[in-house]
Amino acid sequence: MANDPSNKVADELARLRGQVNHHNHLYHTLDQPELSDAEFDLLFQRLQQLESQNPDLVDANSPTRRVGGAPLAAFTQVTHEVPMLSLDNAFGADDMSDFERRIQTRLSITDPITFACEPKIDGVAISLLYEGGRLIRAATRGDGTTGENITDNARTIASVPLELMGDSYPDRLEVRGEVYMSLSGFDEMNREAEATGDKVFANPRNATAGSLRQLNSRLTAKRPLTMFCYSVGVVEGGALPERHSDILTSLAGWGFRMNPLIEVVKGVDACNRYFTRLQEIRSTLDYEIDGCVFKVDSISEQETLGFLTRTPRWAIAHKFPAEEGVTRLLDVEFQVGRTGAITPVARLEPVKLAGVTISNATLHNMDEVQRLGLVIGDMVKIQRAGDVIPKIVGVLPELRADDSRKVLLPGACPACGSDIVQPEGEVIARCSGGLSCGAQRKESIRHFASRLALDIGGLGDKLVEQLVDEQLIETTADLFQLGEESLVALPRMGAKSVNNLLVSIEDSKKTTLARFIYSLGISEVGEATARNLALHFHDLQPLREASVESLQEVDDVGPIVAEKIAAFFGQKNNQAVIDQLVDAGVCWEPEVVEAPTSRRGLSGETVVLTGTLLKLTRNDAKARLQALGAKVSGSVSSKTSFVVAGDAAGSKLTKAQELGVLVLTEQDLIDLLEGG
């Protein structure tokens, strides 16, 4: 049995999982990565490949499962073995003094109490249960006694260990923490939602709660969630330290992420100083806090103090006061987001709220300006409350000055001078200079190099950031002018990585017209629309010269999308970059854009793919179906010709069965594709 191939595969899988978990911990928890993005991707892809080839050896806690699994029909209920209690609140220094006096009285001491102090994260509390060091269940707090089973969703959060590090942890351990969304991650998610017309979340906490309660964990995996741990619940088969602060240190050693602002202090006066200090730095943090939590550090003292009905006597939350003020709107300026969205930003007469000077506030879009009835010169109400980012919540029209003036959307992009377009009925206005706009530069290059566009391997997000920040590239065309000398000088770019990147850039020159159109990053032009444009116009030049009317003759291109395409090609800056790309050697074969003929047996058929395909990638299956003339849809209806059901197919399979739609296996699909 020593030479059994399955044993070797299992050993390699175990080694790869350990390496991926180790590097995930370095990156997401310690912020000390040892591998470049490209090197990590190769490691992760090898693990994915082995697991797809050996599905019987797939582990439920494999790091590949962080991408999510099949959708659930509903959440099951979880009863907390140790209740997740609420905290009593303090609203000032007097309340804090009373809190310490009550503790001293119950403990029959007069010495100052030693407290563990931590920021109160404005997120969602969850419970993580580990047995033998492996995550077996995650649950929401719920009402403190009963929560919901969110194990699949918790597994997608990179800072949640799937297996504990070391070997000194208890056999059975429940860890509690606060899941939250960073402000930068929240802003980026909302910008992407605005760009695609999806729902925009009101604040990070709502976004976090909604993400954790997704029945489809693949959606949760796309959300920028992370977690700070703050305590333990069930502990069996092992002992923990005698101080709360030391328990947190142990948790950090087992792979959990701890808030760096946690401190241990002596006496309530030190607690109050900690509170003031956090209030002062609150606006500089990349996550929302709404106060501080103070806990008696000694576990034996906690046990002596005990609990009231719903709160522990040994802990208290000191909330920050609500923050609102009145100031004057001096001007409205317009910023360009990475996807070209034009966002109005209020410039305010500086006003101090709870020790923080506010001079700017977000206005989201012109609809928000209209809703508020805002004009420049108005006296406005500013609020921070639980939100670190200030916003205008109201106008005082009775104080409006005679020289006030309307807020007008500019006609040209403030970053590059290209036309700003806002099709009728759309909320978001956008810069049309996608290829040449400095504000969109990084996003434009990322998209251009992505797998479904020109597929430039090794050009990850961090490398794009470096290339732009070091002013080595300004547009996508500059990628084809990169040389070995400039790349080797970059951090983490050895000779082999540089050579691989340059080879990939060279290989990417030969593409298809559909991929090239998609790579341009035209608003609303996804893979399917790019393919339809390629099939309709057959070459790039006719598309560049197409009118709005002729564009609407293309399948799935309506008036709004046609306007956006025409506006994009109408910008001289975009045309110049396209010319540079062609001059650099980017080309495509004419035959790849031939329209389907009657010999293509799936012309006019509508197909839905669901579940995990083990032999084909989803994109490969989709492309091959489209090459046979089929339309690949994301939803099942009575008009669906057939559904291809892969592993762990969910609600789409159920609906197909209810409607009597033909269901094929993955092997059926392969046979169909090979038969043409």
Catalytic residues: 120
245: enclosing H helix or E strand: helix 244-253
d(CA 64, CA 635): 26
- Give the distance from CA 612 to its chain's centroid: 22
Cβ neighbours for 85, distance < 8 A, ≥ 6 positions apart:
144, 307, 310, 311, 312
Packed helices 37-53 and 5-24: angle between N→C axes, nearest 10 degrees = 150
d(CA 104, CA 542): 83
Q: What is the dihedral of CA 373, 379, 383, 388, to 10 degrees?
A: 100
Q: Are strands 263-266 and 225-236 parallel, antiparallel or unpaired?
A: unpaired
Distances (CA, A) of 511 to 39, 365, 506, 514, 519: 25, 38, 11, 8, 10
* DSSP-derived 3-state class of residue 234: strand
Structure tokens at 363: 């206005």
Distances (CA, A) of 327 to 330, 346, 548, 613: 9, 11, 46, 58
Q: Is the dihedral of CA 115, 121, 127, 133 positive or negative?
A: negative
DSSP designation for 341: B
d(CA 66, CA 160): 10
Long-range contacts of 42-48, Cβ-Cβ distance < 8 Å, separation of 24 or more: 43/16, 43/19, 44/20, 46/16, 47/13, 47/16, 47/17, 47/20
Q: DSSP assignment of 599-648, as one string?
A: TSTTTT-EEEEESB-SSS-HHHHHHHHHHTTPEEESS--TT--EEEE-BT
Q: DSSP assignment of 529-583, as one string?
A: HHHHHHHHHSSHHHHHT--HHHHTTSTT--HHHHHHHHHHHT-HHHHHHHHHHHH
d(CA 207, CA 392): 21
Spatial contact of 164 and 25, defined as CB atoms under 8 Å apart: no
Cβ neighbours for 522, distance < 8 A, ≥ 6 positions apart:
434, 564, 565, 568
Q: Please give the radius of gyration of the chain, using alpha carbons only, rounded to the nearest integer.
A: 28
353: enclosing H helix or E strand: strand 342-353
What does residue 332 show for φ and ψ, rounded to 5 degrees?
-125, 120
d(CA 101, CA 88): 15
DSSP designation for 310: S
- Give the distance from CA 4 to its chain's centroid: 42
d(CA 173, CA 175): 6
Q: Are strands 405-406 and 375-376 parallel, antiparallel or unpaired?
A: antiparallel
Q: Which amino acid is at 427?
A: V
d(CA 540, CA 53): 40
Strand order in the sheet with 315-319: 88-90, 315-319, 289-296, 114-121, 263-266
